[in-house]
Amino acid sequence: MLTRRALLASGVAASATAQRRRAPNFLILFTDDQRFDTIAALGHPEVRTPNMDRLVRSGMAFRKAHIMGGTIPAVCAPSRAMLITGQALFHIHRSIIAPNNFPASERRPFDMFPEVLRKNGWATFATGKWHNGGPLHARAFSHGASIFLGGMQYHDRVDANPLDPTGRYPKDKITVTSTFSSQLFADAAIDFLKNRPQDKPFLLYTAFTSPHDPRMAPKPYSGWYSADKVALPKNFLPQHPFDNGELKVRDELLAPFPRTPEDTRKQIAEYYAMISEVDAQIGRILDALEASGDSENTYVVFAADNGLAVGHHGLMGKQNLYDHSVRVPLIIRGPGIPKNSICDALCYLSDVCPTVIDLSGSTMPDTVTARSLRPLFTNPRAAHRDSLFFAYRDVQRGVTQGDWKLILYNVAGKETVQLFDLKSDPFEMNNLAAAQPKRVAGLRTLLQKHLAEAGDRADVTKPGWGLTA
């Protein structure tokens, strides 16, 4: 017979377990190189995305979500670092991307939202692309399968790693699989949902490598879009009108110069096919979540690491600060979030980090500088951010406030200035800089304020931005 003390202890343990199970779960669905406007339910007239549409109908879509840009051509690496840490671009450059380039006194500590939840009792699982090193993966996730540590690969030959708690990820443990990447990662996510620990809430992080090139969607998706029928973007150009400092990077070499309508349409058709393929795998995961019985207590976050030009402005890649490259899709659904709702507040992808921590009830780390989106769930028009800044390497800086956007270029000692009215000119085709010098001056001052606060060494008030060659 149990003693009264044993009964009490048993009751306390059962209550603690029940409390843990009542805590919300989190499902993160993250695509690679998906532009903000490539979702049918949000207005795209050609691409088929029934499962992303499903998320739009069941949650809140943030139509003005942005990344800050990148300090390296592989924009996805700093973007993913900002997502998981909630830190600004030049902070994660000092903490994750290139800490050894800075003295110890200038490096920054950081916490990752999967790590925070793991320490607070969540089972944290990851599958798919992880572009920030094995040791950080080991800090963040207690469970995992089919982990791709980054780089360039064909989608039907993925280097899939099992979870390595040491973070070393030796090459002799890699399995090279012929399963298409999106299906491989969806399979791992679904297996976790079926076999996850039942005594803990979970965080399931699924990071696809689609629709990133090589764009090689399998059937039937490869036959869904005809190159002679897809529309060219309104701002299609044979070439970019001036040197933006990054016209010969790998992404830009995926198409011939000058760009042709025929090749651009082919690239767009292949891009849409990849988006539809990953959409189908997202649907499989959502179906598995509903079958698990955990859907009502799970927050689902869908987003992408950056956009992509694919013919806009004569560009192909994401190494620029136009909206097609710095704006990303972001949809969140879950308990208390109004269904089929739209939020047009300016926000960053990195705001996902404090949002997840906030919704989990965990204490917010001091290292997180991004802002939780949670207040917007009850009031989509609440104040969040008045303006956003952007940067790409040492050659591009930008800021947006209200309907206006300023982009500055510093290339070979020459500065080029662009000013766009995004309300009347969403494709950023009409440069108003020469006609509105006062507005340019005001936005330049605002931009410099952002850069100083973010720890950027560029000073756009100085010739050459104060940067040495």
CB 233 within 8 A of CB 427: yes
Q: How confident is the model at residue 11 (pLDDT cuts 50, 70, 90)?
A: very low
CB contact at 8 A, 126 and 192: no
pLDDT more than 70, % of the chain:
95
Read out DSSP for 80-125? Answer: HHHHHH---HHHHIIIIISGGGS-GGG------HHHHHHHTT-EEE
- Mean pLDDT across the stretch 390-408? 98
Instruction: Check residue 78 and give its pLDDT.
Output: 96
25, 120, 224, 361, 394 from 116: Cα distances, Å: 14, 6, 42, 11, 33
What pLDDT band is residue 363 in, cutting at 50, 70 and 90? Answer: very high
Q: Note whether 129 and 148 are within 8 A (CB).
A: yes
The pLDDT of 162-178, averaged and rounded, is: 93
pLDDT value at residue 17: 47
- Indicate the residue type of 384: H
Residue 316 has pLDDT above 70, yes or no: yes
pLDDT in tens, 259-309: 999 999 999 999 999 999 999 999 999 999 999 999 999 999 999 999 999
Query: What is the CA angle 80-84-89, rounded to 5?
Result: 60
- Comparing 13-27, 117-131, 324-338, 364-378, which segment has the lowest mean pLDDT? 13-27
More confident residue, 150 or 288: 288
| Nearest one of 68, 108, 105 to 97, comparing CA atoms | 108
Instruction: State mean pLDDT over 9-24.
Output: 56
Whole-number pLDDT of residue 153: 87
Q: Which of 97, 95, 32, 35 is nearest to 70 (CA)?
A: 97
User: Which pLDDT tens digit goes with each residue over 227-268?
Assistant: 999 999 999 999 999 999 999 999 999 999 999 999 999 999
pLDDT reported for residue 14: 45
Does the pLDDT of residue 175 top 70, yes or no? yes
pTM to 2 decimal places? 0.94
| Confidence at residue 24, expressed as pLDDT on a 0 to 100 scale | 98
Residue 7: pLDDT above 70? no
Closest CA to 301 of 3, 25, 27: 27
The token pair at 316 is 């192909």
How confident is the model at residue 257, as a pLDDT?
96
* Mean pLDDT for the stretch of residues 387-411: 98
At residue 22, the pLDDT reads 83
- Going by C-beta distance under 8 Å and a sequence separation of 6 or more, which residues neighbour residue 255? 263, 264, 267, 316
Q: What is the mean pLDDT of the chain?
A: 94
CATH no. for 386-469: 3.30.1120.10
CA–CA separation, 126 and 224 (whole Å): 31
For residue 4, what pLDDT band results from cuts at 50, 70 and 90?
low
Question: Hey, where are the domains in the chain?
Answer: 21-385, 386-469
Give the DSSP letter of residue 171: G
Neighbours of 316 (CB within 10 A): 23
Q: How confident is the model at residue 5 (pLDDT cuts 50, 70, 90)?
A: low
What SS3 state is found at 342?
strand
Q: List phi, psi (to 5°) of 29.
A: -115, 115
Distance of CA 417 to the CA centre of its chain: 27
pLDDT at 468: 66
| pLDDT tens by residue, 18-63 | 555 589 999 999 999 999 999 999 999 999 999 999 999 999 999 9
- Give yes or no for residue 9 having a pLDDT over 90: no
Q: What tokens appear for 184 in the block?
A: 């491989």
Per-residue model confidence as pLDDT tens digits over 421-459? 999 999 999 999 999 999 999 999 999 999 999 999 999
pLDDT in tens, 188-198: 999 999 999 99
CATH architecture group of domain 21-385: 3-Layer(aba) Sandwich (3.40)
Is residue 16's pLDDT more than 50?
no
- 321-333: pLDDT as tens digits: 999 999 999 999 9
